[in-house]
C-alpha cells in the first residue's frame, strides 16, 4: 500500500470507516437486489425465494416479492431464509432476514423496488439465535458477521447459495 494512502487512513480514521461502510452497504444492496430480483432488461427477475416459518429448520419457496415477516399458509410468521450447501452436502439455512416495521411501510408503496428498501430496513439472525440484528450503515460489522459467517465446508471450500426452483 503506498505511503500516501496509509498515511491518510491513519490521519482520518472516520473518513476511512465511512468509505469502508459505504462500500459494504453498496455490496449488500447489490446482493439483496439480486436475491429479491429486479426488473431489468438483461435477464428475467428471480421469481421465487426461500422462506422459513420455523426458525430455519425447514424452508419453502414462494414469490420473491413478499415483504417479511408475513403470515404463511400454516398461519405462522415466515421470514426470508438464505439457503446454502457445501459441495454435494445437505442444504442448510445460513441466516434469516426480515424487514423492520419501517421497512414494511416503505416497501408497501414500492412493488418493484423491495430489495433495496428491505436492505436499509432489515434485521438478520442465525437459525436458533435469539436476537435479531438491525442493519446499521454506520456500523455494518454486527450485520455482516451474521450474513457472511458459515460453518466451514470440507477441504476449505465456501458454501454455495441454493436457489429455489422456478
Which position has the grid cell 496509509?
6
Contacts of 13 (CB under 8 A, 6+ apart): none
Residue 150: inside a domain? yes
Give residue-wise pLDDT tens across range 109-155: 665 556 666 678 899 999 999 999 999 989 999 999 999 887 767 76
pLDDT, position 125? 96
Is the pLDDT assigned to residue 166 strictly greater than 50?
A: yes
CB half-sphere exposure, 143, CA atoms < 13 A: 20
Residue 133: inside a domain? yes
**Residues pairing with 82 in the sheet:** 95
**Residues pairing with 50 in the sheet:** 61
Residue 16: inside a domain? yes
pTM equals 0.69
Residue 166: inside a domain? no
Quickly count: other Cβ atoms within 10 Å of residue 61's Cβ. Answer: 16
Give residue-wise pLDDT tens across range 3-61: 555 565 567 666 555 555 444 544 444 454 444 444 334 445 558 999 999 999 999 99
Quickly count: other Cβ atoms within 10 Å of residue 54's Cβ. Answer: 13
Domain extent at residue 111: 3-38+46-161
Q: Provide the domain count of the chain.
A: 1
Amino acid at each position: 500500500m503506498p505511503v500516501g494512502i496509509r498515511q491518510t487512513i491513519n490521519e482520518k480514521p472516520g473518513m476511512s470507516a465511512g468509505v469502508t461502510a459505504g462500500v459494504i452497504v453498496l455490496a449488500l444492496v447489490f446482493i439483496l437486489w439480486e436475491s429479491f430480483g429486479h426488473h431489468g432488461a438483461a435477464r428475467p427477475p428471480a421469481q421465487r425465494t426461500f422462506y422459513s416459518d420455523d426458525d430455519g429448520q425447514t424452508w419453502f419457496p414462494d414469490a420473491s416479492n413478499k415483504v417479511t415477516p408475513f403470515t404463511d399458509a400454516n398461519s405462522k410468521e415466515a421470514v426470508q431464509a438464505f439457503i446454502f450447501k457445501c459441495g454435494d452436502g445437505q442444504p442448510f439455512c445460513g441466516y434469516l432476514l426480515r424487514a423492520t416495521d419501517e421497512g414494511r411501510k416503505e416497501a408497501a408503496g414500492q412493488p418493484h423496488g423491495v430489495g433495496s428498501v428491505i436492505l436499509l430496513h432489515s434485521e438478520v439472525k442465525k437459525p436458533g439465535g435469539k436476537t435479531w440484528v438491525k442493519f446499521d450503515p454506520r456500523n455494518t460489522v454486527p450485520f455482516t458477521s451474521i450474513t457472511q459467517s458459515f460453518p466451514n465446508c470440507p477441504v476449505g471450500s465456501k458454501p454455495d447459495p441454493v436457489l429455489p426452483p422456478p
